[in-house]
Structure 1
């Protein structure tokens, strides 16, 4: 087999393995990675490098592997845009955290969101009490969106992050 075609096929296999692994092991977004997760990603990248390029350590081999990864990412995004089934499989869905002032405790527990994190997001949206919240959602990008009955509230942006004492 052509060594450059082999690099492309190996890179594609590693790419799809990583997409599935991240999907099944549950990180919604890279913005939610803590220090241990970043170290894991760095170690994984080092461990799969040889699986992609094999014994070829040339500049062309490395560039070809990187090109194959960019191409796979581009193709996957196009497929996800055209196929709702694949999009639903790969992409997470938004989650309801509060509905009509009622907290969804099971959802919060399943997602690992503390009441302190939820209260912080509410404060950032200018909401003091749970009862004032019409809808609070954990969006697919890791943001917590809050809609209240107050028409004077400003739009704010809350990015969920793991508190340093929890990592």
Structure 2
């Protein structure tokens, strides 16, 4: 097999897998179930092995990707229509900490030890078991945590404060390049941007690694190179 054939089949395999991901949706990336994991391994092997097999061409790669795409899609439809199949095909969340106590049986069922549990908790900014009231091991391997009342963050509702609007920050400069579309969408002008840069002793946007504007702020947030 020559380099041209490898290049063509690589591009085709990449495009086919990319289209499959787009069609099946983002949840195939963020919420990996056991079936999704197997499918990802098989698809990777199919495309990878096909690149160096002289007897396998674009049609065979396309057909294999198509078959697996159909299987994944049908599985998603089945889990949506028939709730009883979800535990088998997608798994179910496990309550590993209940009312502040670790459920050792659930840890064993999920092949999870204390060190791994601590690692998952730290990923949620929990560094002490005493802070946790409930912890749920999700089907994708992540953990959801509900802290005990003394360790929960105070909200405006707790303080009886009126709700305040939450503005969405807008990126205006990245890697020294001004995002003119974002600037226009935010209702800002080039002169305004220049003035903001000058007030922070920035002579040229090329000196800025990142600049962010949030409605209501009087000053542009700038990170220089």
Q: Structure 1 length normalisation: TM-score?
A: 0.54
Which residue is 1:68 aligned to?
A: 67
| Alpha-carbon distance between aligned partners in 2 of 1:29 and 1:75, rounded to the nearest angstrom | 12
Counterpart contact for 1:102–1:131, Cα < 8 Å? no
Higher-helix-fraction structure: 1
Cα distance, 1:85–1:63 mapped onto 2, change above 3 Å? same
Query: Tell me, what secondary structure is at the counterpart of 2:91?
Result: coil
How many residue pairs get aligned? The number is: 114
SS at match of 1:137: strand
**Following TM superposition, by how much is the alpha carbon of 1:57 offset from its aligned partner in structure 2, in angstroms?**
3.6
- Give 1:72 shift: 2.0
Corresponding residue for 2:124? 125
Contact in 2 for aligned 1:103/1:130 (Cα 8 Å): no
> Alpha carbons of 1:137 and 1:28: their partners in 2 closer, same or farther (altered >3 Å)?
farther
For 1:80, what is the secondary structure of its paired residue?
helix
| Shift in Å, 1:93 | 0.4
CA root-mean-square deviation? 3.5
CA, structure 1 residues 145+28, in 2 after alignment: closer, same or farther (shift >3 Å)?
farther
5+ residue gaps, structure 2: 1-32, 155-225
Higher Rg of the two aligned structures: 2
Residue 58 of structure 1 deviates from its aligned partner by 4.3
Change (3 A) 1:29 1:76: closer
> Do 2:100 and 2:130's aligned partners in 1 also have CA atoms closer than 8 Å?
yes
- Are the counterparts in 1 of residues 98 and 135 from structure 2 also a CA contact under 8 Å? yes
Cα distance in 1, alignment partners of residues 35 and 99 from structure 2: 25
Given that 1:28 and 1:141 are in contact with CA atoms closer than 8 Å, whether structure 2 keeps it comes out as no
Q: Distance between the aligned counterparts of 2:70 and 2:103, measured in 1? A: 40
